[in-house]
Amino acid sequence: MSDCLFCKIIAGEIPARQVYEDDDMLAFHDINPAAPVHLLIVPKTHVATLADVCPADEAVLGKMMAIAPRLAAENGGRTLPDGGLRVVMNVGPDGGQEVYHVHLHVLAGERPWRGMAV
Ligand code: AMP
Ligand code: ZN
């Protein structure tokens, strides 16, 4: 999608503080962090929202979830049992989604957090 912000980050056309990449997904720091650690994990394939996901996208969504604790810990999050993390996906207008390319928010670090609207 030529007019999609996250597709442009994936293509290297817009800079981002990247923390992870593989064939299927990319992770980078959120530009406006709501917690001491705030990463976004995006699939490399453009999918607008979670409601648009098709069976071919299911594996990468699982990978995005599964890698979240590791990326949080590698980027300053505290591990369990004292630490932890929060994963959030906003879907559509009522979900508070602003960028229409599926992304998982990964929030971590010592509280209090500035917080998201959840
Ligand atoms: P959402 O409201 O779930 O669509 O979240 C979009 C997120 O993208 C917000 O937390 C923004 O701070 C973040 N964001 C917007 N532009 C950029 C950018 N250029 N690089 C990194 N994160 C961004
Ligand atoms: Zn996109």
Q: Which domain holds residue 15?
A: 5-113
Q: For 88-109, what is each residue's pLDDT tens digit? A: 999 999 999 999 999 999 999 9
Residue 98 CA to ligand 1 centre (angstroms): 7
Q: For 1-10, what is each residue's pLDDT tens digit? A: 779 999 999 9
Residue 118 in domain: no
Residue 15 in domain: yes
Residue 54 in domain: yes
CB of 75 shorter than 6 A to ligand 1? no
- Nearest C-alpha neighbor of 41 from the set 91, 102, 113: 102
- Longest CA pairwise span in the chain (Å): 43
- How does 13-27 read in b/e, with b if 16+ C-beta sit within 10 Å? eeebeebeeeeebbb
Ligand index nearest the alpha carbon of residue 8: 2
Contacts of residue 18, defined as CB under 8 A and 6 or more positions apart, other chains included, come to 26, 27, 28
CB of 49 shorter than 6 A to ligand 1? no
- Nearest-CA residue for ligand 1 atom 13 is 30
Give residue 117's pLDDT. 67
What domain count does the chain have? 1
Alpha helices in the chain (DSSP H): 5-10, 58-74, 92-95
Residue 86 in domain: yes
Q: What CATH number is attached to the domain comprising 82? A: 3.30.428.10
5 — phi, psi (to 5°)? -55, -45
CA distance 44 to 46: 6
CB of 94 shorter than 6 A to ligand 1? no
